[in-house]
Amino acid sequence: MWIDVLVAIVILGCLAGIASIVLRKFPQLTLIDTKALPLERDAQRKKEIIRRRVDRMTGGFGRKLEAHLVRRFEQVQERFRSAYRNLLILERQYRMEKPTTPQGLADKIVQLLDQANASRQNGDFGAAEKRYIEVLSIDRRKHDAYWGLGEIYLDAKRYEESKETFAYLVRMIRKESRCAHLETGAVTERPCEASATAHSDIATGWFNAGLAAEAGGDVAYARQAFERAVIFGPANPRHLDLLLDACILEGDKSRAAEVFAQLQATNPENNKLEAFAQRIAELPDPQRKKGKVRFVMASRDEGGDK
């Protein structure tokens, strides 16, 4: 593409040069003794003489330009053919090196994942991304590759891509594990076949999607993702912690109070409970409720209420 643009610029420049020559020489071209010509042929002969003089002045230049452009086009064509031949060679090499047996493919995936993880630890996100994608080119349902991609996108501050990767991974896990729960946690008529491990992975996927959304400034999506993480992993204090923080940021006092109680029951030793209680107390009360929401802090010494 850039070569075509360059050739067009050269041609325009040449035309401009020809025009410049004609303009400079035009006074000389018009110096014709019209009195020596019969009056009836004066105008026609004058035009013909001007045309011939212009042809003589520009003809040689035009032939040189044409020869140059032809040579240039042939050079570009040859480079293109050479690049194409190199691509064919690389493709043949890749096909020869690509493992074909199941064990060979499995070994290749392990090798690529190790390389990707090492690149990620070294901060080389580009190399890590390339290796994870190579894994998916072999096995497009390899969960480890999606976990890795989502994490490097988050580390590289590519928050939208991270969010989308984790959301896609969650959908994949739900489908493969035959999870029948709705995103709201409701149980459908079909029994859920997903294991506790699958539910934990679903919760972690939504949690990571929430982290990416929160880092990217999408508070609404972050809260939704944290809500789903809590649904599938209700006993995880970190899920509850960030959901509670998101509810407070959105000013949802009633939901914040519910999550606070859940966090307090799950992790009564959490040293952030008092600060959370203070932040919630400072939120304006919902219009549909009167009075203040009272938070009961569990006594760490007595194990009761105070």
Sorted by where each begins, the domain ranges of the chain are 2-34+43-97, 100-156, 159-216, 235-306
Q: Determine contact, residues 285/273, Cβ cutoff 8 Å.
A: no
Q: Which residues pair with 298 in a beta bridge?
A: 305
pLDDT, tens digit, for every residue of 97-145?
566 688 888 999 999 999 999 999 999 999 999 999 999 999 999 999 9
**φ, ψ (nearest 5 deg) of residue 298:** -70, 135
Is domain 100-156 annotated with CATH 1.20.140?
no
User: Of the given ranges (33-47, 76-90, 206-220, 221-235), which has the lowest mean pLDDT?
Assistant: 33-47
Query: Is 190 strand, coil or helix?
Result: coil
Q: Which residues pair with 305 in a beta bridge?
A: 298
pLDDT band at 217 (very low <50, low <70, confident <90, very high): very high
Q: List the one residue out of 172, 257, 158 whose CA is nearest residue 211.
A: 158
